[in-house]
Amino acid sequence: MAIAVTGGTGTVGSRLVSRLTGRGQRVRALVRPGGRRPAGTLVDAVEADLERPETVLDALSGITDLFLLTPLHPDQASLHRGLVDAAKRAGVQHVVRLSAFGADPRSPVPIHRQHGEGDQAVIESGLRYTLLRPNSFMQNAAQWAHTIKARDTIVLPVGDAKVSMIDAGDIAEVAAVALTEGGTDGQALDLTGPRAITYATAATIVSTVVGRTITHVDIAPDEAARVMASNGVPDWAIAARLGLYATLRAGEAEHVTTTVADWTGRQPRDFAEVAPDLAAVLRDG
Ligand SMILES: NC(=O)c1ccc[n+]([C@@H]2O[C@H](COP(=O)([O-])OP(=O)(O)OC[C@H]3O[C@@H](n4cnc5c(N)ncnc54)[C@H](OP(=O)(O)O)[C@@H]3O)[C@@H](O)[C@H]2O)c1
């Protein structure tokens, strides 16, 4: 078995590289040319630009099992089609793809549609595959640091939506099992944390971590769009986020699954367990 990981310096990929090497597994990490690389004696870093799938072909030579993610991009789907094609031509046998909860090629929500189209590319490739469809990452809380520091608030247009958010480490754990123990012959795994919580509950947990009272402030989507635009977020990314927030408000991210426990043999971590890991960034911005 020869395993390659894309995004090995990112939120899920860095945790995946640690888990794989922790099992004594050698890992080929495909890294951005000239970019960061994951540390470790069992890690072989090979440069490949995920936005130029033709650069990925050589980097995948001899690889049997590939963890594939696509970075956030205005056209993730066509990027993904090129990457899957490169994997197939390189002789990869099994792809573990990082997709998203709610992925559906017919979805009106841009992120869900693009992930659905990315999934479709893997499904149509003829490769063996395992699709990981995680809900919102608990580590997204790091993005709240700015308003926590400035105003003791978490500002999101999500009302009292409940979300079964998941620890990125638990996603990595399932990916590590799928990569080293054969994965599935074409299953999509919805991955969630142990319970769905509101952002008011998340704020209460963050309050404990930072040692002062933090509250969730709900704002209108239009206002959120104005704030994002003034912070330089491009239009496509604003549309993507607003589409996602609408699904949260509609209750589409509340569902809790047992997949993490089924695959790892232990319960997924709760936000109250994960938030202390983020203490420094939540406290200091
Ligand atoms: N956040 C959520 O709540 C959530 C939920 C469900 C699904 N997802 C999906 O998860 C995926 C992102 O995963 P993540 O959050 O773990 O990633 P991330 O933290 O954003 O990191 C992206 C990784 O991809 C690498 N990368 C980016 N562009 C590259 C390029 N052109 N060539 C080579 N490497 C490149 C980065 O390398 P550098 O370190 O060099 O930049 C980094 O290792 C997305 O598809 C997203 O839609 C996210």
The encoded tokens of residue 259 equal: 């997949």
CA of 138 to the centre of ligand 1 (A): 15
Domain count for the chain: 1
Residue 206 lies in a domain: no
CA of 260 to the centre of ligand 1 (A): 21
Residue 94 lies in a domain: yes
CA of 98 to the centre of ligand 1 (A): 9
- Residue 139 Cβ inside 6 Å of ligand 1? The answer reads no
CA of 224 to the centre of ligand 1 (A): 23
Confidence of residue 72 (pLDDT cuts 50, 70, 90): confident
Q: What is the phi/psi pair of residue 28, to 5°? A: -95, 120
Q: Is the confidence at residue 227, as pLDDT, over 90?
A: yes
Residue 155 lies in a domain: no
Residues whose CB falls within 8 Å of the CB of residue 104, separated by 6 or more in sequence, listed in order: 112, 113, 116
CA of 211 to the centre of ligand 1 (A): 31
- Residue 36 Cβ inside 6 Å of ligand 1? The answer reads yes
Report the nearest atom of ligand 1 relative to the CA of 50.
32
Report which residue type is found at 225: A
**Rounded-to-10 torsion of CA 187, 192, 198, 200:** -140
d(CA 181, CA 183): 6
Q: Is 174 helix (H, G, I), strand (E, B) or coil?
A: helix
pLDDT of residue 38: 96
- Residue 140 Cβ inside 6 Å of ligand 1? The answer reads yes
The protein residue whose alpha carbon is closest to atom 15 in ligand 1 is: 11
Residue 275 lies in a domain: no
Test site for ligand 1: of 27, 32, 47, 255, most ligand atoms within 8 A of the Cβ: 32
- Residue 47 Cβ inside 6 Å of ligand 1? The answer reads no
Q: What is the mean pLDDT of the chain?
A: 95
The protein residue whose alpha carbon is closest to atom 10 in ligand 1 is: 98
147-191 pLDDT per residue, tens: 999 999 999 999 999 999 999 999 999 999 999 999 999 999 999
Look up the CATH number of the domain holding residue 28: 3.40.50.720
Residue 151 lies in a domain: no
51-69 pLDDT per residue, tens: 998 899 999 999 999 999 9
pLDDT of residue 77: 76
Residue 95 lies in a domain: yes
- Residue 245 Cβ inside 6 Å of ligand 1? The answer reads no
Q: Is the confidence at residue 1, as pLDDT, over 90?
A: no
Residue 76 lies in a domain: yes
Mean per-residue pLDDT, 125-129: 97
CA of 213 to the centre of ligand 1 (A): 31
Q: What is the per-residue burial (b if ≥16 Cβ within 10 Å, else e) of 96-135?
A: bbbbbbbbebebebbbbbbbbbbbbbbbebebbbbbbbbb
CA of 250 to the centre of ligand 1 (A): 26
- Residue 163 Cβ inside 6 Å of ligand 1? The answer reads no
Test site for ligand 1: of 5, 6, 11, most ligand atoms within 8 A of the Cβ: 11
Residue 250 lies in a domain: no
- Domain range for 175 is 3-134+167-191+255-268
CA of 110 to the centre of ligand 1 (A): 17
Type and span of the H or E element at 89: helix 76-90
Q: Is 46 helix (H, G, I), strand (E, B) or coil?
A: strand
